Amino acid sequence: MAASTTSVMEKGSDQRPTGVGSQEEEEEIPEFKEVAVTLATGERVAVLRRNIEEDLQVDASFFDEDYTVAAATGCSVWEGSYYMLAWWQEEAQAALRSCKVLELGSGTGLLGLAIATLGARTLLTDVKSVVREMLDMNIARNSAYGTDAPESKAPDGSAQCSWPGPATCAVGHGWAAARPLDWTVSLEKQFPLQEGHPADADVLIGAETVWLKELIEPYVVTVVALLEAHRQRHGTEMACYMCYRNRGTQTSTTFATTEELMAALRERGCVVTTVAEGVTEYAPDSLCTIYQIALGPVK
């Protein structure tokens, strides 16, 4: 499948005010760049990503406790997000309306915000520093208005978001909220309360979230824990879709391979099915694959 339902625009963004006066100040390198997509519905979603092309830029989260090289990639937008968004629009756009969606490794939030704009009630998650530096900012940029009031409705009259919290915002036809979710910490420790538990989602998604070997185990453990928690809480199965781009080779010591990821999932009792494969106009040389992940039958 070649994704063609989403147009992409990227431009520099001067989000932090610069001084007025010297020519040097006026030419200050922007910290962020805007990435915008126009959906098949004609609606526009725009997020900021870090201007990583400029070596002079220093990541504001560098000294945070949860800062890692892997987490730093959350400040960019990767090919898998575009491909998965195009797939959702072509294959299951109607199913998103009022669907509760949980996204792992949201990064800038482009995919999750677009899914929300199409009508989903989306919970975007990442490590705390990415939530603070990227997700909160980008949700606010795309919100019609922010609220956590029980009586609130989206502009189209749909019911309130089911992810409670002050950062919950109406976005397009749906809702978006952001919370930290660290794959290296158990769900029980991170979410001791029953209300608004991430395992209450109907659908779990992630796009290009696993690219290092060191991420495979915590990612798989987290996915399985969420699927099992949903089964225990609701007696039903949570749908799970992952968009993956293979960046590793058989001799790679750093980058994960498809074979390693699939083996880890199957070792945990998961059934993995390929549902789509293709490229986007944004990155015609980058083959992306969407997998459906499900728990094996109860023994």
Q: Would you kindly state where each structural domain of the chain is located, as residue ranges?
A: 7-295
pLDDT tens series, the chain, 299 aa: 554 445 555 555 444 333 334 444 555 667 889 999 999 989 999 999 887 655 444 444 444 454 444 444 546 678 899 999 999 999 888 888 889 999 999 999 999 999 999 999 999 999 999 999 999 999 999 997 544 433 445 544 444 556 866 568 899 999 999 999 999 999 999 999 878 899 999 999 999 999 899 999 999 999 999 999 999 999 999 999 999 998 877 777 788 999 999 999 999 999 999 999 998 887 788 899 999 999 998 76
pLDDT of residue 146: 43
- Strand-by-strand arrangement of the 169-171 sheet: 145-146, 169-171, 174-180, 121-126, 100-103, 203-207, 239-244, 288-295, 270-278
pLDDT of residue 109: 96
Alpha carbon distance 260, 119 (integer Å): 35
pLDDT of residue 194: 77
- Under DSSP, the state recorded for 280 is B
Task: Say which residue the tokens 């059934």 belong to.
Answer: 271
Alpha carbon distance 203, 88 (integer Å): 12
pLDDT of residue 200: 95
Alpha carbon distance 237, 172 (integer Å): 28
Q: Which CATH number fits domain 7-295: 3.40.50.1980, 3.40.50.150, 3.90.1640.30, 1.20.1440.120?
A: 3.40.50.150
